[in-house]
Amino acid sequence: MPDDISSDDVLLDAEDRMEKAVVSFQHVLDTVRTGRASTSLVEHLHVPVYGQPMPLNQIATLQTPDASLITVQPWDKSNVNAIMKAIQASDIGINPSTDGAIIRLPVPPLTEARRKELVKQVNGRTEEARVAVRNVRRHAIDELRKLQKDGSLAEDDERRASEQVEKLSSTHIGKLEALARQKEHELLEV
């Protein structure tokens, strides 16, 4: 650990890493299917083309012309079959159809059982994100204790900084839970 690190550096790093955990969680939630069509359901899918797997949004135009349909228009028509196979192999539960140029993904309405299953999935992902924030908190507090032990931070300053880390952690976990509640509401909305 560098000698010139301060409690402010530890706090800034912790806040930055906690914020990244929230942003990452938001991206994870975007991939969870609700009853509405959204390109975020498929844009992360990797398709084996040109000798390597590429994200779908880098080889095709994705659109949602209405609330129950996603269209995928490959930039290179020779990739249609590879895209179809990748969508069928994914866990999104949508069966694609094509006319040779455009792939259509009709998003069926969710059943009550599937909605509850997706809510459980969201709750599991929420807990994973909480754990990530807690790990950042633990790491920051350990860093502060090391600084205090090394004599470069007073005991009172270490205690105040640790309390700030706890507040940051609580704030970010609150953000995660708010995002999860919002997604749960979207999933249970008929």
Backbone CA torsion sign across 28, 95, 106, 100: positive
For the entire predicted model, the pTM comes to: 0.71
Q: How many CB atoms lie within 10 A of CB 190?
A: 7
Q: Where are the domains of the chain?
A: 7-31+111-188, 39-106
Average pLDDT estimate for 152-167: 90
Q: Which overall architecture, per CATH, does domain 7-31+111-188 show? A: Orthogonal Bundle (1.10)
Rounded-to-integer distance, Cα 134 and Cα 141, Å = 10
* pLDDT bucket at 19, cuts 50 / 70 / 90: very high
Rounded-to-integer distance, Cα 62 and Cα 78, Å = 17
Q: Which uninterrupted H or E stretch holds 145?
A: helix 112-150
Which CATH number, 3.30.1360.40, 3.40.30.10, 2.40.50.100, 3.90.45.10, labels domain 39-106?
3.30.1360.40
- Which parts of 82-137 are beta strand (E)? 97-98, 103-106
Per-residue model confidence as pLDDT tens digits over 105-128: 888 777 888 788 888 888 999 999
